[in-house]
């Protein structure tokens, strides 16, 4: 080592050592304590938290067998149990039937609705047994009706009468009425579903120009219409316009009568067509005995459909009678009495109960009506001829 290098080392040591001597022993010890001891680096672990001035925060790792599902909801409090006073167990069901009966009272001469009747003026007989009426109220509501029209290629005069009658009923509709238009020949055709749009109903009626088949399956059409209307709540009406003849239906007369009995809250009004043509043909001897009997049977069927449901049946000879007919129908379906009673026979046996409604005075005698000149007025009480009781369900 050269003399110059030795001289440099001596000078460096000489400069450092005096600085160390200026530090006191306490400061030197404190500086030694603040220096942390060297830590051994370990590989990163998921369980170790972030390093802070106070040391690492260690989070315990979840056990693998720990259930992560939330605790079950607390059980609902048990309903209090009532002890049966008898040792034997039994079930009791009380089903008290209520009958709502729509009744119309119409004057025979003027066909006007008779208002102002009270509960004691009505006598309801169910299978010949008087019933106790619990309430009587007046009802005036919009109507829900199906115009069921015979539209078959058999006679121009029948089609013309049907068109005149259907348009006469169309002219009596109000904005809140819901009407459907259905025609039938060999099959049933729905021209429009229930709507309160008079324009749609009018367009459906105007489309009846060219008929298809000549068959008139009245029973099938009426059965299908009743089946559809049974799914609609409330009071419904069917305006059946046609001859009433049935030529090729799968449904027999007995089945359609049973269907009418089993369908509640439906009133049928019937308007016959071709009365004038039939009368002229019969006068000329152009109608044979079989054809005459066929039409007479059809008239009787139309009257039966209406009578069973508390409706009315008409067989107009001239077009001029149509406004008065539909005025009667409107008075009947928009103004009516609703009688409510609990039948004395409360058995749910599914039997058909015959109903008869009469008007009586305060002494129980037949009610007499008079006009302003004290002349007696004849009237008709229109109501369903019966209903079918509920069937017991085990």
The pLDDT assigned to 42 comes to 45
Residue ranges covered by each domain of the chain = 95-140+336-394, 141-334
Q: How far apart are CA 159 and CA 162, in angstroms?
A: 5
Residue tagged 């103004």 (tokens): 335
- What is the C-alpha R_g of the chain? 47
Assigned token pair, 179:
């009407």
The pLDDT assigned to 361 comes to 92
User: Which residues are CB-contacts of 250 (< 8 A; sequence separation ≥ 6)?
Assistant: 217, 219, 220
Q: Are 121 and 367 in contact (CB under 8 A)?
A: yes
Q: How far apart are CA 321 and CA 277, in angstroms?
A: 16
Strand runs labelled E in the chain: 99-107, 122-126, 129-130, 133-139, 144-150, 178-184, 188-195, 236-242, 266-272, 313-314, 336-341, 352-359, 369-370, 376-377, 379-382, 386-388
**Residue 21 C-beta-side C-alpha neighbours within 13 Å:** 6
Quote the DSSP letter at residue 76.
Answer: P
The pLDDT assigned to 271 comes to 96
Q: How far apart are CA 381 and CA 217, in angstroms?
A: 31
The pLDDT assigned to 77 comes to 55
Quote the DSSP letter at residue 374.
Answer: -
| 222: nearest Cα among 246, 203, 191 | 246
Helix (H) or strand (E) holding 162: helix 156-170
- pLDDT, averaged per 10 consecutive residues of the chain (394 residues), comes to 51 46 45 48 45 48 52 56 44 64 84 86 95 89 92 90 94 93 94 94 92 90 94 89 93 94 90 92 85 92 92 92 90 87 89 93 91 88 88 65
Give, in degrees to the nearest 5, the angle at Cα 301 between 296 and 307: 125
Burial class of 114 by CB neighbour count within 10 A (0 to 12, 13 to 18, 19+): buried
The CATH class that applies to domain 141-334 reads alpha beta
Assigned token pair, 126:
């169910």
Q: Are 166 and 183 in contact (CB under 8 A)?
A: no
Quote the DSSP letter at residue 56.
Answer: P
């Amino acid at each position: 080592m050269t003399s110059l290098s030795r001289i440099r080392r001596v000078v460096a040591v000489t400069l450092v050592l005096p600085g160390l001597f200026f530090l006191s022993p306490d400061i030197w010890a404190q500086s030694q304590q603040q220096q942390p001891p060297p830590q051994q680096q370990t590989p990163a672990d998921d369980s170790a938290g972030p390093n802070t001035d106070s040391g690492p925060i260690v989070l315990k790792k979840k056990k693998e067998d720990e259930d992560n599902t939330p605790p079950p909801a607390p059980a609902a409090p048990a309903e209090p149990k009532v002890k049966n006073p008898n040792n034997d167990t039994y079930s009791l069901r009380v089903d008290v039937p209520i009958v709502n009966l729509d009744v119309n009272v119409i004057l025979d001469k003027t066909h006007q609705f008779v208002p102002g009747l009270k509960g004691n003026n009505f006598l309801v007989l169910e299978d010949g047994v008087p019933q106790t009426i619990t309430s009587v109220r007046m009802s005036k509501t919009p109507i829900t009706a199906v115009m069921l029209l015979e539209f078959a290629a058999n006679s121009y005069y029948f089609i013309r009468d049907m068109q005149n009658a259907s348009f006469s009923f169309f002219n009596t509709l109000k904005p809140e009425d819901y009407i459907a238009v259905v025609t039938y020949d060999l099959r049933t055709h729905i021209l429009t579903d229930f709507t309160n749009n008079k324009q749609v109903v009018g367009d459906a009626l105007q489309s009846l120009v060219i008929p298809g088949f000549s068959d008139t399956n009245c029973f099938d059409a009426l059965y299908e219409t009743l089946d559809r209307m049974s799914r609609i709540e409330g009071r419904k009406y069917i305006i059946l316009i046609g001859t009433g003849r049935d030529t090729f239906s799968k449904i027999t007369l007995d089945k359609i009568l049973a269907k009418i009995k089993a369908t509640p809250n439906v009133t049928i009004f019937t308007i016959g067509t071709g009365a004038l043509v039939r009368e002229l043909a019969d006068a000329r001897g152009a109608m044979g005995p079989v054809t005459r009997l066929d039409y007479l049977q059809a008239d009787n069927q139309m009257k039966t459909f209406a009578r069973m449901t508390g409706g009315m049946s008409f067989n107009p000879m001239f077009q001029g009678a149509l406004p008065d007919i539909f005025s009667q129908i409107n008075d009947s379906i928009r103004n009516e009495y609703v009688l409510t009673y609990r039948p004395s026979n409360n058995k749910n046996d599914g039997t058909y109960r015959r109903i008869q409604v009469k008007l009586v005075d305060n002494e129980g005698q037949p009610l007499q009506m008079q006009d302003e000149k004290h002349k007696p007025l004849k009237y008709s009480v229109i109501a369903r001829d019966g209903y079918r009781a509920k069937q017991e369900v085990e």
